[in-house]
Amino acid sequence: MFYNSTRDSDVRVSSAEAITQGISADGGLFVPDSIPLITPEEITKLGDMSYADRAAFIFAKYLTDFSEAEIHYCTDNAYSTKNFETESIAEMSHLFDGTYMLELWHGPTCAFKDMALQILPYFLTTSVKKINLDKKIVILVATSGDTGKAALEGFKDVEGTQIMVFYPEQGVSPMQKRQMKTQEGGNVGVCALKGNFDDCQNGVKAIFTNDEVKEKLSSGGKMFSSANSINWGRLVPQIVYYISAYAELVKDGEIALGDKINICVPTGNFGNILAAYYAKHMGIPVNKLICASNINNVLTDFINTGVYDRNRQFYATCSPSMDILISSNLERLLYLMTGRDDALIREWFGKLASEGRYEVSDDVKKMLSDEFWGGFCDDKQTKETIGEIYRKFSYTCDTHTAVAVKVYEDYKRETGDTTKTIIASTASPYKFSSSVLEAIEDAKSEMDEYSMVDRLAELSDIPVPSALAELKNKPERFSDSIEKSDMKDYVLAHLL
């Protein structure tokens, strides 16, 4: 299998090259030249495998230039109890009749990004060796909260790599900020940006494609790669947990092989739900992909109208990892839906850069409505949902997962669809303890962050993840804060 660029279909690289580069030189995203299929018989077999073996089976379909031994080296090291607090890696909780919470936050940073970012360093270092690249890999990351810490933890002290993370200074939770500012490792760097996530993401993309920066980096024996979901090596591991979840439901007798399910995903950058789209088109029977947004509802509007318009007010919410107005992975979806029309993608995303909006064709609008249902909720509704779930089911969820639950309830009410549904639960409630505690106790807390964590532990009966508990006494290492216009100079000064 080879990989094309969304902005130039003539680009044709191996998976190792796509993973190493992160983003195409033309600014496009790498997409596999076909979507491999998975048969019902294979789904049944997956049910009897460990998570690591399920992942290896699926990766073999996409990373065809990797040997079986190389793939198992990556999966066996990434998906083990040394990294995850549960043997299942991805836990499934039966919330209420026909609804399942796919808990993706039992890794070292307590967020779903661990599912991909624990394996990406193995993918990347293996890829570098495969293509005989004699350069140090510099990982540049923009984060809305969770990707940054997960990438830092994954690449911490990995030989032949260096990593720098930018986060919006006022756009992450106190716990997310503390996770990044206390990060250990000799090859890591963290910097706050006076702006929002889109400013971080745009800055990183601009640096990636800046010839001056790339030349200076190359002369120093280094090259850029990405740990954001623009890197195919970040996206392909996310496909795994949706296929794994379906196989698990079949194995447990919750559904029959061939039964359709819905998948509801809280998302801002569109990567997590795009992975579910890939799982569906590989052969997992999916009825509807439900895209859940917070009040920054650019994706909801797009799914419902076919118009993508980032020219709107930006809100800082209690679900900060979704505070995004430019959803990068949408480019991959539209490339597929247009029949890989790179000229159309260049036109639309050129308009997004210059005018802040574009409108897709009528046939793409029809495909969007056939595949997806979009909804959103505000902070008040998010917190009300956390409280309701806690009181009804004694289940504590974080602010992002609650957005998905609320949107799913709206979907059921509007459509009457009672198809069994997987809801992607994307973060530990302890990462957003202030908002979760306020939702459960119906009052703002005046306690400090760690007192709130202790109180939430009393109420939820969920053990505090050791990775978060240990932060209390860790010294802060990173305190830099810069203007968005200074990103390029900051990178050059700290990475060369």
**Structure confidence at residue 46 (pLDDT):** 98
Residue 270 has pLDDT above 90, yes or no: yes
Per the annotation, the verdict on 113 as an active-site residue is yes
**Structure confidence at residue 457 (pLDDT):** 94
Residue 379 has pLDDT above 90, yes or no: yes
pTM of this structure: 0.94
**Structure confidence at residue 209 (pLDDT):** 84
Region 3-29: mean pLDDT is 96
b (16+ CB within 10 A) / e for 363-392 = ebbebbeebbbbbbbbbebbbbbbbebbee
**226: part of which helix (H) or strand (E)?**
strand 222-226
Region 361-390: mean pLDDT is 98
Residue 496 has pLDDT above 80, yes or no: no
**Structure confidence at residue 495 (pLDDT):** 80
Tokens representing residue 144 in the block: 């809305």
Contacts of 324 (CB under 8 A, 6+ apart): 144, 197, 198, 201, 268, 269, 296, 298
**Structure confidence at residue 136 (pLDDT):** 93
* 444: confidence class by pLDDT, cuts 50, 70, 90: confident
**Structure confidence at residue 445 (pLDDT):** 84
**Structure confidence at residue 474 (pLDDT):** 94
Report pLDDT digits (tens) over 138-186. Answer: 999 999 888 999 999 999 999 999 999 999 999 999 999 999 999 999 9
Strands 8-13 and 3-5 come out as antiparallel
* 39: confidence class by pLDDT, cuts 50, 70, 90: very high
Q: Provide the mean pLDDT of the chain.
A: 95
**Structure confidence at residue 386 (pLDDT):** 98
Given the residues 45, 82, 113, 130, select the one marked as catalytic. Answer: 113
Residue 205 has pLDDT above 90, yes or no: no
Residue 9 has pLDDT above 90, yes or no: yes
> Which of 36-40, 128-132, 220-224, 228-232 ranks highest by mean pLDDT?
36-40
Residue 446 has pLDDT above 90, yes or no: no
**222: part of which helix (H) or strand (E)?**
strand 222-226
